Amino acid sequence: MKLEHVQQTFISESRELLHEMESALLRLENVPTDNEALNTAFRAAHTIKGSSGVCSCEPIVDFTHAMESLLHEVRTGNVEVTPGVVGLLLDCCDHVGGLLDCIGAEDAPAAFAGLDGEGAALLDRLGVLQPLETPKVPVHREEAAVQRVDVPRVASPAWHISVRFGLQILRHGMDPLSLIRYLATMGEIVSLTTLIDRIPQAAEMDSECCYLGVEIDFAGDVTKQAIEQVFDYVRDDCFIRILTPHSCISDYIDLIRSVPEGDMRLGEILVASGALTRRELGEGLAAQSTQAAEPAAAESAANRKIGEILVGQGVLQEEIVDAALSRQKAALEHRSLEGSFLRVRADKLDELITLVGELVIASAGTSLAARRAGDAETTEAAANMARLVEEARDRALGLRMVPIRDTFNRFGRVVRDLGRELDKDVELLLSGTETELDKSMVERISDPLMHLVRNAVDHGIETRAVRAERGKPVRGRIQLNAYHETGSIVIEIADDGNGMNRARILERAIERGFDASRQALSDHEVFALVMEPGFSTADAVTNVSGRGVGMDVVRRNVEALRGSVRIESVEGVGSTIAIRLPLTLAIIDGFLVGVGSCSYVVPLEMVVECIELRDNGDRQNANRNYINLRGEVLPLLRLRDVFAAEGEPGRRQNIVVVQYGGARAGFVVDALLGEFQTVIKPLGRLFERLSGVSGSTILGSGEVALILDVQALVQRAVGREAGVYGETAPGKSPGSRVDQLGVQP
């Protein structure tokens, strides 16, 4: 694997760890006693430090070591968790992120040098918070506390590390020499023996495989956990055994028995390095040969015995022991699950989705040809292939679906920092974080969400004094929520702040030349005015808002994803902005309809039902633009008129009832052609602004069908009927336009 790929993997994983650390620190700031959050932050810093050492990135190693030291002092209770400590650690996370950016710079040394001043200032602040005198813990104190004095032990004061590297670690981008070099930075390598016994004959050897093993005697003021962290990234692929200084002779004999080289090979190495004497080796092998206990059974018995002793001595309670064993089991299961994941480049996944899309089109053509041939066996084979293609499509699209959790988590830091800048007390609540969305859509929705969250803190949440006067809790709340609804994903940004001033918005709109006297505007239509370019109700321009840019960009970006934005607000209570997006941008299930000589596709998840349009001999009734559907007014939209379709209308017309965002409408069509797997093809630049159409697709016959923009067409139908009936629709009492049409917003 190329060095660039290793660095990219390191950078990607380190950024994920930084996000985890930030989230943990934010939780710790709210709940200083949250030990799990503290441990998460410590593990993240330690892992970044270890992987930085493997990649020989010394600036990150040195800086994260200082972070890790402060976190260790917090864990031991020597430093108290305060907002200042958390703020410093968050600043350190930002600095580590900057150091990661330097790795990929054209002139990396100069980039690192440019951050020296910032890093030095942070290191000074870290040094002030750490206790001036921290007593050195003897290397083996934690091991000596549990040692038995009556068990024969070796005289060697050094750690012994036995490693057999996995065959595939070179392909995975790991360098055994880098691991050993990093280990040397933690202490002194007393002796090192390289084993090449596993190297096969030249004809059978694979140059990309690693056949090496090492036996290391190591001296240093470290713990066993610290040594294990050195080999974290290769632990699953390698054989690793670590023996503490002055370990039992039986532990060394167990090691000799477990390695593939055989008793005498490793025995001689241990004797030569001084870890064992020849007499200890001989006596240990002789004693081991008389024991026939099965290792697993012996380990189980030992664990059970230790538990009985601890409970009997009153050191621990049975419930605590059971809980610890349960957590250990869960950790092992989690490691097993982590081993089942595989990182795949996004462009390769996109290529797979594209090929699956072409396969869907080819399958549709095969099914059409089979129906025309009229051969039963061919038709059945085509049906089986279509079923398998559909399953492959669903599995392929599932690969691109990711939880929105990571996107939501990054806003915790934004809310905290902006709240402090504006002197506001704000908390962020997350829900629906497991809701999945297409990865490409997640990346494109991040910036609009960022702007809406910042707006909620700046415009929405009041200052502490204002909230106290209004009888609200001093701490304001912003909530991010995501959920699935009728084949779409809805993302809501809600706050319990000021809300929107309807009169103020209309006043600013009139100042900008908007004629509000032409029609009565609903609240939703008034609030939608804030998404017009250049529109702002702010009296002053700040570094956060007030320039009238942002909300129009939000709407434009969302609509580019075939989505919509809806604002609901109550003055003095709060606002909710809902973004509705399709689940995927690649392949959908569609419902094919015919109008004249043209074909159109309606996204299947938006189709509620299909009914026949009956005129009952009344032509006036047949041509009107609404019907009574089970006691509710259903506005109609005749696609023949919308798209000026050519060809004679069918003898019978049908209505496809669709729903988007709670609003319903009926599309009048000539023919219902059934379900159709639709591969979305983007429109060219000439047609990208075409109203009522969101894309195109290729039918099995090779013809092109347009994919309808249900959102725009439903809004057109509902708005037209509202305009026809003004404030009161037939059979409805006065009220909002939505109520008059008998549909939900």
pLDDT in tens, 468-505: 888 899 999 999 999 887 667 899 999 999 888 888 88
Find where tokens 């209570």 sit. 573
Task: Name the more confident of 251 and 240.
Answer: 240
pLDDT in tens, 325-379: 554 555 444 444 444 566 677 778 778 888 888 888 888 888 888 888 888 888 8
One-letter amino acid of 332: L
Give the number of other Cβ atoms within 10 Å of residue 482's Cβ: 23
One-letter amino acid of 311: V
Strand partners, 482: 491
Q: Flag whether the pTM goes above 0.85.
A: no
pLDDT for residue 735 is more than 70? no
Q: Which of 110, 10, 111, 109 is nearest to 64 (CA)?
A: 10
Q: What percent of the chain has pLDDT over 90?
A: 5
Q: Which of 401, 402, 399, 368 is nearest to 385 (CA)?
A: 368
For residue 652, what are the contacts with CB-CB under 8 A and spacing of at least 6?
A: 612, 613
Q: Please report the DSSP string for 17-60 in residue order.
A: HHHHHHHHHHHHHH-TT-HHHHHHHHHHHHHHHHHHHHTT-HHH
Q: Please report the DSSP string for 614-678 in residue order.
A: --TT-HHHHHSSEEEETTEEEEEEEHHHHTT--SPPPSSEEEEEEEETTEEEEEEESEEEEEEEE
Q: Is 370 exposed, middle or buried (0-12, 13-18, 19+ CB in 10 A)?
A: buried
How many contiguous H segments (helices) and E segments (strands) does the chain have?
Answer: 27, 21
- Is residue 575 very low, low, confident or very high in pLDDT (cuts 50, 70, 90)? very high
Task: Name the more confident of 281 and 458.
Answer: 458
- Is residue 559 very low, low, confident or very high in pLDDT (cuts 50, 70, 90)? confident
In the chain, what's the furthest Cα-to-Cα distance? 111
Q: Residue 535 is encoded by which pair of tokens?
A: 């529109």
Residue 480 has a pLDDT of 93
DSSP H/E element including 210: none
pLDDT in tens, 498-516: 888 888 888 888 877 776 6
Residue 74 has a pLDDT of 87
CA pair distance 457, 414, nearest whole angstrom: 9
Residue 218 vs residues 47, 196, 223, 270: alpha-carbon distances, Å: 21, 21, 12, 13
Q: Residue 178 is encoded by which pair of tokens?
A: 């880098």
- CB 24, CB 41: distance < 8 Å: yes
Q: Is 165 exposed, middle or buried (0-12, 13-18, 19+ CB in 10 A)?
A: buried
Across the chain, mean pLDDT equals 76
